[in-house]
């Protein structure tokens, strides 16, 4: 740790910029709502619980001066965080649960790769390595220990269009296998996030390995963020992401509030 005289004032500028609005706090979270879609697995598998609320009291006989709810949901309901233990490839890693992972990694730089144009023409769009290299050619190399988010505009979709289920499964964009390998092995990212229901594309069950984003990210101790909202409000680089899951004992993930600190352009 640095001595007090060296650290004094380190965050003062940030505090002033937050107070003045020079640094904006952007909310990248969907509201936890009973109607928000969750991932649909084949019916014979266990399913992700929907978000639900039961009123405990509302200033009434059940509690005269107070209003509160019990809520229930899955760890992977709504805007949520995936820890390495979520996937079989990460099950034996150290610090692989939400209660044990190093919190230092929950705040970090974020690069946002804009794939909206590609996704508009192709719901099954897979972001490949060339797309990442094109991003780097324009905005610079992705720094180590950054979050990388895939911007697709998917969070503007609602209901059936969001899940986009057809008889042959879901159709939504995601990263190609080689792109995930590149981000993990050559760019040492903290994690990967997306506006879709999972870090993998809708058709990723047919990839090699199946669900490559889950398999590779979590196998290497990296994290996932899904159901992010409104990534078009982030700059390609220069923002800081805050993504702290709930501290659930042995938890494999959790719904969370994802915030970004963004230099104001106004």
- 160 contacts another protein (rule: CB under 8 A): yes
Contacting range for another protein; rule: CB under 8 A; set: 15-23, 48-56, 97-105, 135-143 = 48-56
Instruction: Provide the minimum distance between the beta carbon of 7 and another protein in the complex, in angstroms, as a whole number.
Output: 47
List CB contacts of 263: < 8 A, sequence separation 6 or more: 22, 23, 24, 235, 238, 239
Residue 31 makes contact with another protein by CB under 8 A:
no
Active-site annotation holder among 30, 76, 80, 86: 86
Question: If binding is defined by CB under 8 A, does position 224 make contact with another protein?
Answer: no
Footprint on residues 68-107 left by another protein (CB under 8 A)? none
Residue with Cβ nearer another protein (10 or 160): 160
Is 86 a known active-site residue?
A: yes
Cβ-Cβ contacts under 8 Å for 243 (sequence gap 6 or more): 81, 106, 107, 147, 191, 193, 223, 225, 256, 258, 259
39 part of the interface to another protein, by CB under 8 A: no
Candidates 7, 13, 31, 47: give the one binding another protein (CB under 8 A): 47
User: Is 55 a residue that touches another protein (CB under 8 A)?
Assistant: yes
CB of 50 to another protein, least distance (A): 7
Handedness of CA 238, 112, 234, 77 (dihedral sign): negative
Task: Please report whether residue 54 would count as binding another protein according to CB under 8 A.
Answer: yes
**Integer Cα distance of 263 and 240 in angstroms:** 9
- The CA–CA distances, whole Å, from 165 to 41, 50, 105, 136, 211 equal 11, 17, 34, 33, 17
Out of 8, 11, 22, 49, which residue is the one contacting another protein (CB under 8 A)? Answer: 49
Site string for another protein, 4-23 (x = CB under 8 A): --------------------
Q: Which of 18, 26, 40, 248 is in the footprint of another protein by CB under 8 A? A: 40
Report how far residue 88's alpha carbon sits from residue 254's, in angstroms, rounded to the nearest whole number.
17
Measure Cα distances from 121 to 2, 118, 162, 173 in Å: 52, 6, 16, 11
Contact 177, 210 (CB under 8 A): no
**22 CB-near residues (< 8 Å, 6+ apart):** 16, 263, 264
Question: Does position 163 bind another protein by CB under 8 A?
Answer: yes
Please give the positions annotated as active site: 86
Binding site for another protein (CB under 8 A): 34-35, 37, 40, 46-47, 49-50, 52-55, 158-160, 162-163, 165
């Amino acid at each position: 740790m640095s001595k007090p005289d060296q650290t004094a004032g380190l965050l003062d500028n940030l505090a002033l910029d937050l107070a003045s609005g020079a640094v904006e706090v952007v909310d990248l979270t969907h509201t936890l709502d009973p109607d928000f879609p969750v991932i649909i697995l084949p019916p014979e598998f266990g399913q992700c619980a929907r978000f639900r609320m039961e009123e405990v009291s509302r200033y009434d006989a059940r509690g005269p001066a107070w209003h509160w709810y019990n809520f229930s949901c899955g760890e992977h309901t709504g805007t949520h965080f995936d820890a390495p233990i979520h996937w079989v490839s990460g099950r034996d890693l150290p610090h692989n649960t939400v209660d044990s992972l190093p919190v230092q990694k929950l705040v970090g730089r974020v690069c946002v790769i804009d794939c909206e144009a590609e996704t508009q023409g192709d719901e099954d769009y897979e972001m490949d390595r060339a797309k990442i290299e094109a991003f780097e050619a324009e905005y610079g190399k992705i720094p180590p220990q950054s979050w990388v988010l895939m911007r697709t505009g998917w969070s503007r979709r609602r209901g059936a269009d969001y899940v986009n289920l057809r008889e042959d499964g879901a159709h939504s964009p995601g990263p190609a296998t080689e792109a995930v390998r590149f981000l993990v092995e050559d760019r040492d990212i903290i994690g990967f996030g997306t506006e879709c229901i999972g870090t993998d594309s809708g058709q990723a069950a047919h990839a090699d390995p199946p669900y490559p984003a889950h398999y590779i990210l979590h196998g290497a101790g990296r994290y996932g963020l899904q159901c992010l909202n409104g990534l078009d409000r982030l700059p390609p680089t220069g923002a800081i992401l805050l993504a702290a899951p709930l501290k659930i004992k042995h938890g494999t993930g959790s719904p969370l509030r994802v915030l970004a600190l963004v230099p104001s352009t106004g």
